[in-house]
Amino acid sequence: MTRVSKLDIEDWDPELRELSRADSATPLEQGLTRMFAHTPEVTKGLMAFAGGLKVHRDLPERLIELVRLRVAFHNQCRSCMAIRYKDAIDDGLTEELVCSLEKPMEAENLSDAEKAAIKYGELMATNHLSADDKVYDELKKHFSEKQIVELGMTVAFFVGFGRLAATWHMTEELPDAFKSDSIEIAPWGEDSIEVR
């Protein structure tokens, strides 16, 4: 059960409700905003930041989703692992690619750029100080500095809020495979939910 109460959308700040399009979203799509709604002004700022990352994204949606799911595995954020975003699916994300995240550096269906981004995300989630010159040199082979900054900001968002979501244990709407907190789970090989 979620450890922080989820506010019903009727109790949200009206502007927050409009910005998040909560009235037309499923409870799962409302996600963490149901808890963030306790602090509407802070949440509006967070939404502006997250929206800026999304709207002005230069990196491919597929790549971002692969990085997000690998970070989610290290965070053990069940709600993060269960979700697949439609933009990424439209950009070529498949469950076969998601299964490649079990051993991404050995996967033949991931590009070198995707592997470099996934490795970076993984290091940021597990041992951020090991993201050294060699890691950045590899990123620079595939990405512009603008894209590296975008990747870094996006990964920081995934790591921080994924860890927060994991501790809040928001699992009620998830498939059964993602509800158990007694074992380490992975985003590959389980039922997933597509979110618009």
Task: Specify whether 92 is located in the same domain as 49.
Answer: no
Of 190, 155, 154, whose CA–CA distance to 78 is shortest? 190
Contact 120, 142 (CB under 8 A): no
Task: Specify whether 51 is located in the same domain as 80.
Answer: no
Number of domains in the chain: 2
Task: Specify whether 37 is located in the same domain as 112.
Answer: no
Task: Specify whether 169 is located in the same domain as 80.
Answer: yes
Residue 196, pLDDT above cutoff 70:
no
Please tell me the pTM assigned to this model. 0.91
pLDDT in tens, 107-119: 999 999 999 999 9
Task: Specify whether 50 is located in the same domain as 80.
Answer: no
Flag whether 107 is in a domain.
yes
Task: Specify whether 88 is located in the same domain as 158.
Answer: yes
**Considering the chain, what is the average pLDDT of its residues?**
93
- Cα end-to-end span (Å), the chain: 24
Angle at CA of residue 141, ends 119 and 129, nearest 5°: 40
For residues 125 and 4, what is the distance between their CA atoms, to the nearest angstrom?
Answer: 24
Task: Specify whether 94 is located in the same domain as 188.
Answer: yes
Flag whether 41 is in a domain.
yes
Task: Specify whether 83 is located in the same domain as 156.
Answer: yes
Contact 188, 101 (CB under 8 A): yes
Contact 139, 158 (CB under 8 A): no
CA dihedral 151, 157, 163, 169 (to 10 degrees): -120
Flag whether 4 is in a domain.
no
- 10 Å CB burial of residue 71 (0-12, 13-18, 19+) is buried
Flag whether 3 is in a domain.
no
Task: Specify whether 38 is located in the same domain as 103.
Answer: no
Task: Specify whether 18 is located in the same domain as 81.
Answer: no
Structure tokens at 113: 């750029």
Task: Specify whether 78 is located in the same domain as 118.
Answer: yes
Q: If you average pLDDT over residues 127-145, what whole number do you get?
A: 98
Flag whether 69 is in a domain.
yes
- 10 Å CB burial of residue 102 (0-12, 13-18, 19+) is middle
Task: Specify whether 46 is located in the same domain as 71.
Answer: no
Flag whether 156 is in a domain.
yes
Flag whether 2 is in a domain.
no
Flag whether 1 is in a domain.
no
pLDDT in tens, 74-132: 999 998 999 999 999 999 999 999 999 999 999 999 999 999 999 999 999 999 999 99
Contact 11, 37 (CB under 8 A): yes
Look-up of token digits 């009620």 = 172
Higher pLDDT, 174 or 66: 66
* Cβ atoms within 10 Å, residue 60: 18
**Domain around 164:** 61-195
